[in-house]
Amino acid sequence: MPLSDLVNTFGQDLLRRYGRRVHKLAIHAGFSCPNRDGSKGRGGCSFCNNVSFSPHADALPDVATQIDAGRRVVKKRTGAERFFAYFQAYTNTYGDVERLGRLYRAALAEPDVIGLSVGTRPDCVPDAVLDLLCELRDAGHEVWLELGLQSAFDATLARVNRGHGFGEYRRTVLAARRRGLPVCTHLIVGLPGEGREAALASLGRVLDLGTDGLKLHPLHVVRHTLLAKDWRAGGYRPLTMAQYVAIACDLIERTPAEVTFHRVTGTATRDILLAPDWCTKKWAVLNGIEAELRRRGTRQGLGITEYEVRSTGAPERRSAAPPVLRTPYSVPRTPYSVLRPWTSAQ
């Protein structure tokens, strides 16, 4: 049974909606980040690799060239013939709107690019950028805004030097979704001082506001970061793979079935990764999550059902039925953050 039978993955969602495989192509458009250049902060987030920051943006291939290189590789590997241009590296709304429009339109001008995904910080999305994304959406493209929240706790965000709080995320996610723009929220599991309960609480706060997609990521310790110094000094201990798998499954179970998971783990390359070493093994983690969900007899959304069913005294938990997909982009009505987390141990 593939993971997509248990989790509403973005890839499967695209396949269902477009009737063919659609793949994201990552683009590095040469943006910087306001958390490094002094406009929001200096030094960047404590886990962000400073060396890989693009000092030679002018030397980057243009958008069309990057798409062409990406499509060749992905086509060969997956057979996909339609793509989303994923503006991934750093803060992809950090620039004047005209420049942003030129870059996004250059990607959408490619005949096999049917959509756009723009990754950014929640404090770097002014109304003019939302208007631009809506304009592209109204021209017939699927457009997603990807917001790096990482944690819903201001104390944690301050500790890792994010340079923004939950308030900025709240403003942006509400403004985007009010315009009908789908949002994918990025959360990191295993941030300093955070464990399972904090991860569940962050998810609850995100679901309360409403989100359309989620990306989960274990915290990596990579070279040339403040976190690496902390880790070397014994001040930070990364999660084990088993701990990450268990928390990721808890989060998946507690996420409504209509929210798409764009990612349930993340990897780092060996040349920069210091710890944990299992973060180079994407398939081991994905297989671990699938095996754990199967062992629990559960799937995405069933943690919520379990709580609701439990509260009425009905014991039914296991079901072979696939997740029921409700209307996309709907704002959840259940106050998820106040529901008691369900675990397989209960």
Three-state secondary structure of 47-68: CCCCCCCCCCHHHCCCHHHHHH
| Measured distance CA(70)–CA(82) in Å, rounded | 12
Q: Which is nearer to ligand SF4, 36 or 296 (CB)?
A: 36
Q: Which is nearer to ligand SF4, 33 or 274 (CB)?
A: 33
Decide if residue 35 touches ligand SF4 (CB under 6 A). Answer: yes
Residue among 6, 7, 33, 67 that touches ligand SF4 (CB under 6 A): 33
Decide if residue 149 touches ligand SF4 (CB under 6 A). Answer: no
Tell me the window of 43-51, 197-205, 217-225, 325-333 that interacts with ligand SF4 (CB under 6 A): 43-51
Give SS3 for 30: coil
Decide if residue 225 touches ligand SF4 (CB under 6 A). Answer: no
Q: Which is nearer to ligand SF4, 36 or 262 (CB)?
A: 36
Q: Which is nearer to ligand SF4, 115 or 148 (CB)?
A: 148
Residue among 25, 45, 219, 252 that touches ligand SF4 (CB under 6 A): 45
Binding mask 47-66 for ligand SF4 (x = CB under 6 A): -x------------------
Decide if residue 227 touches ligand SF4 (CB under 6 A). Answer: no
| Measured distance CA(92)–CA(82) in Å, rounded | 22
Tell me the window of 33-41, 126-134, 202-210, 292-300 that interacts with ligand SF4 (CB under 6 A): 33-41
φ and ψ at residue 186, rounded to 5 degrees? -95, 130
Tell me the window of 10-18, 28-36, 280-288, 293-301 that interacts with ligand SF4 (CB under 6 A): 28-36
Binding mask 99-138 for ligand SF4 (x = CB under 6 A): ----------------------x-----------------
Site for ligand SF4 in 85-104 (CB under 6 A): 90-91
Evaluate whether 204 touches 337 at the Cβ level (below 8 Å). Answer: yes
**Residues in contact with 38: Cβ distance below 8 Å, sequence separation at least 6, in sequence order:** none
Decide if residue 265 touches ligand SF4 (CB under 6 A). Answer: no
φ and ψ at residue 329, rounded to 5 degrees? 65, 20
**Residues in contact with 150: Cβ distance below 8 Å, sequence separation at least 6, in sequence order:** 45, 156, 157, 160, 162, 186, 187, 188, 191
- The candidate with the shortest Cα–Cα distance to 236, out of 203, 283, 188, is 188
Work out how close the CB of 217 gets to ligand SF4 at its nearest, in angstroms, rounded to a whole number. 11
Q: Which is nearer to ligand SF4, 91 or 185 (CB)?
A: 91
What token pair was written down for 341?
């987390």
Taking the CA atoms of residue 19, residue 25, residue 29 and residue 35 in that order, the dihedral angle to the nearest 10 degrees is 90
Tell me the window of 30-38, 200-208, 229-237, 302-310 that interacts with ligand SF4 (CB under 6 A): 30-38
Evaluate whether 86 touches 25 at the Cβ level (below 8 Å). Answer: yes
The letter for the amino acid at 142 is E
DSSP string computed for 131-188? HHHHHHHHTT-EEEEEEEEE-S-HHHHHHTT-S--HHHHHHHHHHHHHTT--EEEEEE
Tell me the window of 42-50, 55-63, 227-235, 278-286 that interacts with ligand SF4 (CB under 6 A): 42-50
Q: Which is nearer to ligand SF4, 17 or 42 (CB)?
A: 42
The letter for the amino acid at 196 is R
Residues at the site binding ligand SF4, with contacts judged by CB under 6 A? 33, 35-36, 44-45, 48, 90-91, 121, 148
